[in-house]
Amino acid sequence: MARHLITSAIPYINGIKHLGNLVGSQLPADLFARYQRARGHEVLFLCATDEHGTPAELAAAKAGKPVAEYCAEMHEVQARIADGFRLSFDHFGRSSGPQNHRLTQHFAARLFDAGLIEEVVEQQMYSHADGRFLPDRYIEGTCPNCGFDSARGDQCDNCTKQLDPVDLINPHSTISGSTDLEMRETKHLYLRQSVMKDQLESWIDSKTDWPVLTTSIARKWLHDGDGLQDRGITRDLDWGIPVRRGDEDWPGMEGKVFYVWFDAPIEYIACAEEWVDAGKGTDWERWWRTDKGAADVRYTQFMGKDNVPFHTLTFPATILGSGEPWKVVDYIKSFNYLNYEGGQFSTSRGRGVFMDQALSLLPSDYWRWWLLSHAPESSDSEFTWENFQSSVNKDLADVLGNFVSRVTKFCRSKFGETVPSGGTFGATEEALITDLSARVETYAAMMEAMEVRKASQELRAIWVVGNEYLQTAAPWSVYKEDPQAAAGIVRLSLNLAALYAVLSAPFIPDAASEIATAMGLGDLSWPDDVPSALNRLSEGDSFAVPDNLFRKITDDELAEWKQRFAGVRD
């Protein structure tokens, strides 16, 4: 039994996320976690809300609430929506918790003692209108690299270039909109990433199995311009983890907090401690410390491409630089962006479908299937309503749903709601088993490799095999001449439905559970092989006819939804 530690990028607390955020980290992480559990492996799947930094302060101010209250409320909202999408986190934590405070301050002390943190007196943007220093996300302007007009003071989301506020063209305050800004002297802490460049580069070069998207972004940051730069890890904010050196005050750092991108990845570790403190597990260190048992853990991270630089450079620098035996990530699965109907999702313009809205339209399986089967792995992908309708209607309703419905209803009409006896396997059935055995092996290989789209294609092909067999074997015709032979066809087909429940569960857990319940399956553990799986239901076992698993999306619904979520265009 292997042990898998799985984390998905922790979402910002500032509002409900759109479908692109979902498919870029949490959903494929859940797919992988569900698959590994089905294979009988031990899994710890962690996520949390990212509650510090400028986004939280701005969102709370807009909502007219104290930031701590706002974060607590939004954590509950995001947890509820995650449950609605059946994201099977072992724990969904909070980066504002005491565990993350303690660990972040601990890492800062270790890095300082190792000579990897230095105090730097610098010039920082000050807003006269706001009467305060402006941390990077309080400043927006035009990116000097690509010309994107909404680049933030820390990074351009369009080209992923790391920035400082002074780099921006025509900067303005995101609080007041004021351009009356000046540079003033202040003191901050910097993580000396440049000192660790060779070590980080050697580590990244060793990851020959990582996606090209992941390693190319990391190498770009290592080599572009002047190479890997030291990174400021403190900010002039009220909300965040106070700058302390472990349990001690940090002279000269009074009133400052750690930068959100310093403390947020540390929450992955803190979240495991929260998991234990919540009574859900024991001994979190066996997952995170190699001297406490984590040496045999396989650690996989899932994230969108905008998060890659911090997870391939800053967080590893923190972990490795501490000099302590912490578990370092083994594999980073990164994703491109999901776009919406020829443009970007936009909260301000009401453009695109957000997670709560999606669940109000259709059950989660519909969205899970489309998003995973169109995951933006090799390039950006595009959500269109026509494609969504086609995929749901053809894949889910016409292929999987139709197969289960036809088999169970025919059996009930001719043999009752028990698995019939009689009939033997012939050449057609043996060919089916051979085909399915190869396909299930391929499907499992794709799931192991986290090739999400390829896995979905193979799963759909497995569903199609059942439909083709049923159509060719035609038990409704055979029954007229030889009821016993028809019974054998039906028994095999019912076992196919049971197998589909197991194989489909990582993608569409609710429908899989419904099929499993109808087939009387006690669990959804992975089969040893296809022949044994197709004998799982025995003669005389009871089954039920499930309700219609998937309904089709109508043209009228398509038109209405397309108009509703088009948003306000410029």
For 334, 459, 551, the CA distances from 445, given in Å and listed in that order, are: 19, 12, 31
- Residue 159 corresponds to which amino acid? C
Beta bridge partners of 162: 155
- Binding-site positions for ATP read 347
CB atoms within 10 A of CB 296: 9
d(CA 112, CA 106): 10
Which tokens in the block code for residue 172? 């303005």
d(CA 228, CA 221): 6
Q: Are 518 and 510 in contact (CB under 8 A)?
A: no
- Binding-site positions read 143, 146, 156, 159, 347
Indicate the pairing of strand 297-304 with strand 3-8.
parallel
For 46, 124, 128, 182, the CA distances from 165, given in Å and listed in that order, are: 33, 8, 16, 11
DSSP state of 420: P
Q: Are 528 and 479 in contact (CB under 8 A)?
A: no
- Residue 5 corresponds to which amino acid? L
d(CA 462, CA 501): 12
Q: Are 26 and 83 in contact (CB under 8 A)?
A: no
Using left for φ > 0, alpha for ψ between -120 and 50, and beta otherwise, residue 8 falls in beta
- Residue 371 corresponds to which amino acid? L
Q: Element (H or E) spanning 124, and its range?
A: strand 117-127
Report how many helices (DSSP H) and strands (DSSP E) the chain contains, helices first.
22, 18
If we measure between CA atoms, which residue out of 491, 487, 499 comes closest to residue 435?
A: 499
- Binding-site positions for Zn(2+) read 143, 146, 156, 159
432 CB-contact burial (10 Å; exposed 0-12 / middle 13-18 / buried 19+): buried
Close Cβ partners of 511 (under 8 Å, ≥ 6 residues apart): 365, 396, 400, 401, 504, 549, 550
d(CA 111, CA 105): 10
Q: Element (H or E) spanning 245, and its range?
A: strand 244-245
Phi and psi torsions of 187, nearest 5°: -120, 135
CB atoms within 10 A of CB 424: 8
- Residue 59 corresponds to which amino acid? A
Residue listed under structure tokens 């494929």:
28
CB atoms within 10 A of CB 249: 11
Question: Kindly report the CA angle at 316 between 310 and 321, in degrees rounded to 5?
Answer: 130
Close Cβ partners of 420 (under 8 Å, ≥ 6 residues apart): 411, 414, 487, 490, 491, 539
